[in-house]
Amino acid sequence: MSEGSQAPPEPKRRELSLGRRVALWLGSLVAAVVLLVLVSRFGMIDLWPRQVVLPRPWLLFAACFVQLPYAAFRAARLRFALDPVVREHSGGAQRRLDWRVLHGSGLVSFPAVILLPFRLGELTRPLLITRANEPGVGFTESLSAIAVERVIDGLVVVGMLFVGLAFADLIGAEPDVMAGIRGSGRIMALTFLLGLGVLLGGAARPDWLEGLIRRTVPGRLGERAAAAAGRVASTISVLFDWRRGAPFLAWSVIYWGLTVFQLWLVLLACGLDLGMAEAAAVVAIVGLSIQVPGGPAQAGSFQVGMAVAMGLMTTAAQVDAASTFAAFMYLLQLFGACVLALPGALMLARARRDGASGPETGSGDRAESA
């Protein structure tokens, strides 16, 4: 890899002290305990069903297989933002981000996002991609592409919330609960729309953004911040091209469609004969709930979302089925992500090994294989 193809040097990231790490984990565990106690005392589900209800186990197996395309679509979306960066900085010698780095970083980072508290695992994928030394792709480019993903995901989830609630059969809906859910949805919608506006505004006027930062932040720090802002803007701006932006949005919709489909299969497997509208509403409610700080492995925040959703769509007579569904969905997302992390780690190891073997198996050859 030539000197010109390297990503600009990244600023050193400060590591948390041991005391702060301990405080972070303790705070996360306390939040998990509080939320789990609230669910066990006031929620419409048990943390673990008193009686497992699984009249259609084959549908649970089908849901497990859906994890494969679900993970593939989720990992691949980053390509639409980072491929142009790789092509530009390699002088056309490498057309795409190495597919092993793309999918391997996604598969390894998914369990980290779930397991680490306060969504700190979101930093895992940018770090893994940066370590791969792909042309022009540093931590800033990776993080900015993932930021766009998360904003689009947030808007899709909010859309599913309102559409799902509009068409779902909400047998347990109380006015106060519905008002709280819709109010939370509106707040999240405004938050994500604001985030999207900031990202798109910076990408549309990168020179203005860099100049503003240089004038606002003095000295060397301002120069570094302006350079980083310019790299963020250039990474995001490729999505203005409909040839990149349209497939990115389409793959995001497919990814969330697979999420709803998988959850719907588990609902049916547990004897809860609900429709796709109800499944979309459950995905959205849980998706918004896990934004609340909870424990490691989303303990507490996931169960709160499930308790709220099941309280809207099931009766007291279905508590065992609803509890079985909530428990199986939690285990499916957790163990599914952990199992797929192994092939992801192997992909990354192979990409690093080939990248270190010299020019003969460097970026040009990997571009052809991708």
Q: DSSP letter at 11?
A: P
Nearest CA-CA partner of 337 in 108, 174, 73, 12: 108
| pLDDT score of 188 | 80
Q: What is the pLDDT of residues 307-355, one digit of tens each?
A: 999 999 999 899 999 999 999 999 999 999 999 999 999 999 999 988 7
Tell me, yes or no, if the pTM score tops 0.95: no
Nearest CA-CA partner of 100 in 117, 122, 79, 70: 79
Distances (CA, A) of 343 to 75, 79, 351: 13, 19, 12
| pLDDT score of 175 | 75
pLDDT at 193 over 90: no
Distances (CA, A) of 213 to 9, 217, 229, 231: 19, 6, 8, 13
Distances (CA, A) of 321 to 56, 145, 150: 12, 39, 32
| pLDDT score of 343 | 96
| pLDDT score of 15 | 57
Residue with tokens 């609630």: 165
Average pLDDT, the chain: 85
Q: Which residue has the higher pLDDT, 166 or 209?
A: 166
What the block records as the tokens of 273 is 């004969």
CA–CA distance, 195 with 202 (Å, rounded to integer): 11
